[in-house]
Amino acid sequence: MAVHAHPDDESSKGAATLARYADEGHEVMVVSCTGGERGDVLNPRLQGDPEIQRDLPEVRRREMAAAQAILGVQHSWLGFVDSGLPEGDPLPPLPDGCFALEPIEVTAEALVRVIREFRPHVITTYDENGGYPHPDHIMCHVVSVAAFRAAGDESAYPHAGRAWQPLKLYYDRGFSRAKLTAFHNAMTEAGMESPYKEWLEGWGDRPEGRITTRVPCADYFGKREQALLAHATQVDPDGNFFRITKEMQAKVWPTEDFDLTLSYIPLSEGGEDDLFAGLGSADDADAQATSGDLTLVVDDIRERETV
């Protein structure tokens, strides 16, 4: 289960991994916490389109359905309202009723319900900074951690279904300084103009996120690109994301990367190349998920666990 803040996030973060596991026969679920109602139209070709202006939320639902079909995954809307990205100095307050202002008891119960229905062994989400500091991304982190901890507790949210404990929680590490540097160098050496120079210069003192798990998925970079393009309002097809070809990406960085942050399964020595590493058979994992007698062996939650 991949928990994301908005529709389109699933296609820019970990999409090739999702497509690979779905293609291999695993059940894969994307959860969108919000409908992306307050998103801007970022594709200059579609700005001013009357249908989009009339009903952007419906357009984004159709885009999500198209991306879902390309990736071959299941999908669930958690049902909360996009908070928007506050801009200005000073920053304006968040709008009433938005996802980032909902009580954690409400948002966590909603995700617990989906977890208990779908019964995933593995969950992916964002780190405590949200990947980038959008209030919905930060809240997505908070909700994912809270729901992971509560889903297996029979006394927590007893009306949200039968207890089920996911066994591993990962943070998505879609972009790192090392990855951007590798892309920049490859494009420069090939005589191509690199869009990553300014990004790297702006990295500053931001720490590099830990990577414990590198999933080989280069064969699915094409599907990842198609799924992202399906979110036509949210991406510029001539933008920086598509400046480096999928073939060059496959040669330079053929994995998608994750950080195992909460786990009832020990981290494999030397790192992992599979989100299901250490789980054994599906029957064994199911038995652990319902045992009610588990001990966290990886617990690396940092600040921003509560809001």
Domains of the chain, CATH where assigned: 2-173+255-299 (3.40.50.10320), 176-208 (no CATH)
Q: Scanning the structure block, which residue is given the tokens 């064969």?
A: 219
Tens-place pLDDT, residues 225-275: 999 999 999 999 998 889 999 999 999 999 999 999 999 999 988 899 999
Average pLDDT of the chain is: 94
Q: Is 4 annotated as a binding residue?
A: no
Tell me the pLDDT band of 205, cut-offs 50, 70 and 90.
Answer: confident
What is the average per-residue pLDDT within 101-122? 98
What is the share, in percent, of the chain residues with pLDDT greater than 90? 85
pLDDT exceeds cutoff 60 at 306: no
> What residues form DSSP beta bridges with 76?
31
Q: What's the confidence (pLDDT) of residue 304?
A: 54
Tell me the pLDDT band of 133, cut-offs 50, 70 and 90.
Answer: confident
Q: Is 6 annotated as a binding residue?
A: yes
Q: Is 9 annotated as a binding residue?
A: yes
Tens-place pLDDT, residues 25-58: 999 999 999 999 999 999 999 999 999 999 999 9
Distance of alpha carbon 278 from alpha carbon 297, whole angstroms = 13
